[in-house]
Amino acid sequence: MSFFVDVVTEDSFYENLTVGVVKILEGLPYVKNVRVERRNGCEDTVISNWEQRHCCLLPEDLRNFYLSIDGFQLLWNLEIAGEEFSVGRMEIGSFSTLKRCSTTRDHQLDCPRQESTDPGSEIEPRSSAVDLENACSLQAGSSQSCKMFEIARCYPEIGMTKVYLVYCTKPEAEAAPSIWLHREELDRWYHLADSFTVYFRMMLVHLGLPLWQCCVAGVTLPTWVEQVYFLVGPHLLPATVEATETISATLWSNGPTNVIDPGIFKGKDGKQKIPRRK
């Protein structure tokens, strides 16, 4: 999917980049102090040097993103009983943090699996583990190695959890990188998105709620995180999750429902749009 670039003012740039999410958050009764960190873009030569050093090309959407802004951070607070807590976070690491990561352990990758239709068979879990290299083989079609670059981190409440840009390469070709979630304490991998654009969309739609990547991957969330979801985005939780009595049921029933139309991410010609500042 290709991108085109507009020259816009700084205020318009951030409004277009977040597609109005800031105004949506500011309109929620429990969300306070929404702030976006403003950053300049990267130099093209810096990105080119990175590509030469790591022998891989950044996907076009991610390259355009870093040319426009060197990472992204949007934070917001949650007000409960008159007290504010720093809870919401949308973050993409700066380009300098996009460093290659490696480990000698055998990676485990969680992929969705269909439940058995045989009434006598044992119910399968929501996901099953497979070897990371085998999963990459399905994408690249041959033997290859994986290159992983950290682009974000999640809340530490369930152990260190990071988000990686993963290249699955083979000698004669290079497959498009995808986005994966890694839980270090379990050494388990979960596929999140096939491209950076899709990942960024997911981050906006989930309003930067805590551990939203884990919610997408089907990982069980801590109780307090589920409570925050019921207040700000109850529609984002799986249907099997029910509100607890820790917070008044009135808050759950009156919690706002926010739905972002995916069409707002497209220009008139159907291309994805990343604005470029003056």
Residue 183: give its domain's CATH number. 3.40.1580.10
Residue 247 located in a structural domain? yes
Q: Which domain holds residue 225?
A: 10-102+133-251
Residue 51 has pLDDT above 90, yes or no: yes
Q: What is the pLDDT of residue 119?
A: 35
Q: pLDDT tens for residues 146-202?
A: 889 999 888 766 667 889 999 876 544 456 889 999 888 777 889 999 999 999 999
In a domain, 115, yes or no: no
Mean pLDDT of the chain: 74
In a domain, 148, yes or no: yes
Q: 106-131, pLDDT tens digit by residue?
A: 444 444 433 333 333 332 233 333 44
Q: Does 259 reside within a domain? A: no
- Residue 60 lies inside a defined structural domain of this protein: yes
The pTM assigned to this predicted structure is 0.72
Domain presence at residue 126 = no
For residue 257, tell me if it sits in a domain: no
CB under 8 Å, gap of 24 or more: what pairs does 14-21 form? 14/38, 16/273, 16/275, 17/68, 17/69, 17/72, 17/274, 17/275, 18/74, 18/204, 19/204, 19/260, 19/264, 19/265, 20/264, 21/74, 21/90, 21/204, 21/207, 21/260
Q: Is residue 209 part of a domain?
A: yes
State the total domains in the chain: 1
